[in-house]
Structure 1
Amino acid sequence: MQSTPKAKDALRAAQLYYLQDMKMEVIARELGTSRSTVSRLLSHAKRTGMVSISISPSANMSALLSNQLAENYGIAAHVVPTDGQMDDAELLSRVAAHAAHLLGTIISSSMTVGVAWGSTMQAVSSALSPHPTHDTVIVQLNGAANPVTSGVRYASDILTRFGQAFTARTEQFPVPAFFDRASTREAMWQETSVRRVLKVQHEMNLAVFSLGAASSAVASQVYRGGYLSPAESRALQKMGVVGDVATVFFDKHGDSSQIEINARATGPNLDELRKVPQRFCVISGRGKLDALRGALNGGLITDLVLDEGTALRLLDG
């Protein structure tokens, strides 16, 4: 990448600020500019990946909760410090930013990363910063079309942001979220173009997703975007469904086997999902608590990012 005067100044400002612990006023004098310009240069350095910040948690509430969740569930837990006065939209923004930072440390060259779509994944993708890799593939986990919309642009925007952040090839999955009949899905799964994407999915090292839940204050896209008919929503409730991963529904035990609509869903079978070495789930807001408990009971998660309030409620049982 060709270096620009702004890039050189941003790098110099970052070196003086982070490595030599100089104050912004001193840096401004050295660079012959203003303090506000130095602030913008430092922001540019972080945004473009010149600066990577890691935090070693001390013995605070979030660290203690993370350790307790890791011990209870055998997962890597990352509890995000949050203010109890935040609404669910603010919680989502805070948790998504933390998740995006962590993904920058996890996703590396030659990986295949499956990404679901939804409100949370949209927020995470928007918070990603550049972390260039090579020979990395980002593949869509489930179809997004429904009777109201093709869903292509919505899912594509999320996939594109991941691809741009990690300089990765993207693989879209242009099929409906749910087929009208299970037999139609079975026939489509034999098509060469579909089988090619399924093969990429089977090579995943990492799956990145949230959990859908009808009760979340920030309503999950699958419940508000025309994907389910009123009759289907009632049937899911009657069967004790608590949530979904990539439009595959499960109950409080994390079991998906007796839920009829899953035979028509285009997300990965949950038994197949469990075979992915790293399953990175992002959750914010207490509305997804039942879904989270079910997913943990079903062994669907290896890495969890969640807000402090939800972590406390989860541990309280």
Structure 2
Amino acid sequence: MVESRPDEQGRTTQPLDGTGRFPLPLVHTAATLYYLQDATQAEIAQRLGTSRATVSRLLRDARERGLVRIEVPPLPEHEPAELAGRLARALRLEQVRLSAEAAPAHVAEAVSPVVGRALSEAGLRAGDVLLVSSGRTVYEIARRSLPELPGVLVAPVVGGQDEAEPWYQTNEITRRVAAAVGGVPRFLYAPAFPGRELRASLDADPVFQRFVELWRTARCVVTGIGAPPLQRDSIPSFVPTVETALRDSVGDIATRFYDASGREIPYDGSDRVVAIPFEALHRVPTRIAVAHGAEKVPGIVAGARGGHFNQLITDPGTATRVLAALQEES
């Protein structure tokens, strides 16, 4: 029998199932909002029409039912500065910056100040081009405080994606970053995956050519690193994850997928993707990658090998895992 019960304020919660638990879709929604979309318990309660106490029970139910796996990484064996230096040397990067350790739902708060310091030290002036990627991490950073960079041109590294998630809306991320730094947005009015005729037209279009010049002259880029395609719970629909070639992918930057050596992996239609080519990316003087979590370790290692970034922002737990992965390889 399905029943309902009043919460502490006398409101009726969603019905419990026959086991006394909340319906699985409701539990999943609450967990997604809290752990992936950074919503507070009060915001979730308002959205679901219930109380904060009920939201707390929903989140506990999600953990007990295995919908959420909370990981407590081991304490780093070294002081943060020493750990960052060791990782920079191991990956042959110019610099590694470590954020404070944070729960998955609060990584953006920990990472954003570190990104801000990196941008402040990048030497950007009015008229310089700052590139930003799509992705959940950069989207969350764009929603937070960033240093003033008046007159800097901000542009996306990949075209628009026909996806519901806000972290795929590249022009909106660009607008947010530009507003945060006091810069000037430059929008890319092209889909990430056009048809062949449209792709050929874009290449011949003077407006598109002027935009591509921003990629060639950029002084700095901030990008996330995508997890391996087959391990992701969210990926652009145009990516053919069933292709055998992408099974060897350990990560991507701006929908450019690469293998364990950092080499780009071509797939059916990859020649049509509207995204910064790796050869143009490698010419950007300051290439900042932001990544955290165990699933990003292979992509971090391979991305550094491929030269796709020369600075890394991560947390101590991920840094420790990367060093351990490199040790296992040697």
Asked if TM exceeds 0.5, the reply is yes
SS at match of 1:109: coil
Instruction: Give the direction of change, closer, same or farther, for the CA distance of 1:150–1:202 in structure 2 (3 Å limit).
Output: farther
Whether contact under 8 Å (2:154, 2:183) holds in the other structure is yes
Greater mean deviation of Cα atoms: 148-157 or 64-73: 148-157
Alignment-derived partner of residue 170 in structure 1: 185
The one of 291, 297, 302 equivalent to 2:310 is 302
1:68 maps onto 2:86 in alignment: yes
Whether contact under 8 Å (1:92, 1:123) holds in the other structure is yes
SS at match of 2:307: coil
Instruction: Give the direction of change, closer, same or farther, for the CA distance of 1:307–1:252 in structure 2 (3 Å limit).
Output: same
Alpha-carbon distance between aligned partners in 2 of 1:143 and 1:215, rounded to the nearest angstrom: 19
Instruction: Give the direction of change, closer, same or farther, for the CA distance of 1:166–1:299 in structure 2 (3 Å limit).
Output: same
Alignment-derived partner of residue 129 in structure 1: 146
Aligned Cα root-mean-square deviation (Å): 2.8
Could you list the runs of 5+ residues in structure 2 that have no partner in the other structure? 1-76, 326-330
- Residue 234 of structure 2 aligns to which amino acid in structure 1? R
1:31-70 alignment, distance < 5 Å: 61-70=79-88
1:140 maps onto 2:140 in alignment: no
Instruction: Give the direction of change, closer, same or farther, for the CA distance of 1:236–1:248 in structure 2 (3 Å limit).
Output: farther
- Residue 142 of structure 1 aligns to which amino acid in structure 2? V
Whether contact under 8 Å (1:101, 1:128) holds in the other structure is no
SS at match of 1:234: coil
The one of 195, 206, 217 equivalent to 1:203 is 217
Following superposition, the deviation at residue 214 of structure 1 comes to 4.3
The one of 241, 249, 256 equivalent to 1:233 is 241
**Which structure would you say has the larger RCO, counting Cα contacts within 8 Å and 6 or more residues apart?**
1
Whether contact under 8 Å (2:154, 2:185) holds in the other structure is yes
SS at match of 1:113: strand
Identical aligned pairs, as a percentage?
Answer: 20
- Residue 177 of structure 1 aligns to which amino acid in structure 2? A
Alignment-derived partner of residue 82 in structure 1: 101
1:1-317 alignment, distance < 5 Å: 61-75=79-93, 76-82=95-101, 86=103, 88-106=104-122, 108-110=124-126, 111-134=128-151, 136-146=152-162, 148=163, 154-181=169-196, 184-214=198-228, 224=234, 226-228=236-238, 232-235=240-243, 238-256=246-264, 258-317=266-325
Alpha-carbon distance between aligned partners in 1 of 2:182 and 2:141, rounded to the nearest angstrom: 17
Following superposition, the deviation at residue 295 of structure 1 comes to 0.5
Could you list the runs of 5+ residues in structure 1 that have no partner in the other structure? 1-58
Following superposition, the deviation at residue 260 of structure 1 comes to 3.9
SS at match of 2:194: coil
Q: TM-score, length-normalised on structure 2?
A: 0.67
Instruction: Give the direction of change, closer, same or farther, for the CA distance of 1:192–1:104 in structure 2 (3 Å limit).
Output: same
Alignment-derived partner of residue 20 in structure 2: none
Q: TM-score, length-normalised on structure 1?
A: 0.70
Instruction: Give the direction of change, closer, same or farther, for the CA distance of 1:214–1:240 in structure 2 (3 Å limit).
Output: closer
Q: Deviations over 1:35-64 (max 9, x none)?
A: xxxxxxxxxxxxxxxxxxxxxxxx962111
Whether contact under 8 Å (1:205, 1:278) holds in the other structure is yes
Alpha-carbon distance between aligned partners in 1 of 2:274 and 2:168, rounded to the nearest angstrom: 17
- Residue 86 of structure 2 aligns to which amino acid in structure 1? Q
SS at match of 1:266: coil
SS at match of 2:143: helix
Runs of 4+ in 1 over 3 A off after TM superposition: 148-153, 214-217, 236-239, 257-261
Whether contact under 8 Å (2:229, 2:250) holds in the other structure is no
Alpha-carbon distance between aligned partners in 1 of 2:165 and 2:160, rounded to the nearest angstrom: 7
- Residue 284 of structure 1 aligns to which amino acid in structure 2? H
Following superposition, the deviation at residue 206 of structure 1 comes to 0.8
